[in-house]
């Protein structure tokens, strides 16, 4: 449980800040996504830390139980898989990203999810 609290305190505020950034700086985020999707090199480079963070979480927190820490484990696995996909298949990720972000609802929904998940982890780490 100490690992769960530590990781929640560490990544919860970062995830919440990113979600809030996405909401408050929509145009800059769209510009960043557009620029990223034009470069396979950026996709690969972005995959490296994503894979590393996911791998670190999975190796230190592979906790599968029906309580809140499983959210951290799921996040770790998703980060690890997402990072690996960016590294191995940048062209596929480029095409998928372009298709997904053409939908106008994706950015506000993703922003809300990141913000809510970050607040949830922060709550679990600092308050609960």
> 25-66: per-residue pLDDT in tens?
999 999 999 999 999 999 999 999 999 999 999 999 999 999
Domain count, the chain: 1
Reported as a single tens digit per residue, the pLDDT across 55-100 is 999 999 999 999 999 999 999 999 999 999 999 999 999 999 999 9
Q: DSSP assignment of 33-47, as one string?
A: HHHHHT-HHHHHHHH
Average predicted confidence (pLDDT) for the chain: 96
CA–CA separation, 52 and 55 (whole Å): 5
Global pTM value: 0.92
103 token code pair: 């939908």
CA–CA separation, 104 and 85 (whole Å): 24
Radius of gyration of the chain (CA): 15
pLDDT of residue 76: 98
Residue 110 domain boundaries? 2-126
CA–CA separation, 4 and 10 (whole Å): 10
């Amino acid at each position: 449980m100490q690992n769960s609290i530590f990781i929640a305190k560490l990544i919860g505020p970062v995830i919440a800040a990113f979600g809030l950034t996405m909401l408050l700086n929509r145009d800059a985020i769209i510009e960043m996504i557009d620029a990223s999707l034009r470069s396979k090199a950026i996709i690969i480079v972005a995959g490296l830390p994503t894979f590393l963070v996911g791998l670190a979480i999975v190796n230190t927190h592979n906790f599968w139980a029906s309580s809140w820490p499983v959210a951290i484990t799921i996040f770790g696995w998703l980060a690890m898989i997402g990072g690996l996909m960016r590294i191995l298949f940048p062209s596929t990720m480029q095409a998928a990203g372009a298709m997904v972000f053409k939908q106008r609802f994706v950015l506000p929904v993703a922003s809300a999810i990141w913000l809510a998940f970050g607040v949830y982890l922060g709550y679990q780490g600092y308050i609960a």
